């Protein structure tokens, strides 16, 4: 999240349209003039029944692993990894597609999982997008070995 100094608007990096619900809390009286933090002035929460992908990546030697949670995405949905290496201008579709699997026991209702891996020594940028649905994750950047 960053704040624009000219307009005072707050932007969420990587948030898809409709993926988050923003609730503003009005201030009155003396409290309105006091300094506020973003947490004091707004509550941001996931919108109900909106599909979203959340990913994280790690490296173990040459092996790059990306794991993700798919909220409100059906089991069996195919996701495409989009990959960019240093020197490339555009993202390219990864060779292996992944399918969303049922989440582990104890996960929230509607929260499923997926995993992907690739071998490379280079820095790599990765994000996932749905093949048949309009959903996309933010990207992860995994440093070179």
CB 26 within 8 A of CB 43: no
Domain holding 76, by residue range, is: 52-142
- Residues 12-44 have pLDDT tens digits of 444 454 555 555 555 555 555 555 554 455 555
pLDDT of residue 67: 94
- Residues 80-91 have pLDDT tens digits of 999 999 999 999
Tokens of 84: 């960019």
**Same domain membership, residue 122 and residue 79:** yes
**Same domain membership, residue 132 and residue 117:** yes
Say how far apart CA 75 and CA 58 lie, in whole Å.
24
**Same domain membership, residue 64 and residue 39:** no
Beta bridge partners of 53: 70
**Looking at the 3D structure of the chain, how many domains does it have?**
2
How remote is the C-alpha of 41 from its chain's centroid?
23
**Same domain membership, residue 61 and residue 40:** no
3-state secondary structure of 86: coil
pTM of the model: 0.65
**Same domain membership, residue 82 and residue 20:** no
CATH code for the domain of 73: 2.60.40.10
Nearest alpha-carbon partner for 120 in 62, 48, 35, 58: 62
């Amino acid at each position: 999240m960053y704040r624009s100094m000219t307009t005072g608007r707050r932007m969420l990096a990587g948030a898809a349209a409709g993926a988050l619900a923003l609730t503003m809390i009005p201030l009155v009286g003396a409290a309105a003039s006091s300094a506020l933090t973003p947490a004091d002035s707004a509550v941001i929460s996931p919108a109900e029944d909106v599909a979203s992908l959340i990913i994280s990546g790690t490296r173990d030697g040459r092996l790059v692993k990306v794991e993700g949670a798919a909220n409100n995405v059906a089991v069996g949905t195919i996701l495409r990894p989009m990959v960019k290496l240093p020197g490339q201008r555009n993202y390219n579709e990864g060779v292996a597609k992944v399918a969303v699997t049922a989440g582990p026991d104890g996960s929230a209702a509607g929260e499923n999982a997926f995993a992907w891996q690739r071998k490379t020594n280079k820095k790599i940028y990765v994000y996932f997008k749905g093949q048949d649905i309009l959903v996309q994750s933010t990207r992860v950047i995994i440093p070179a070995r």
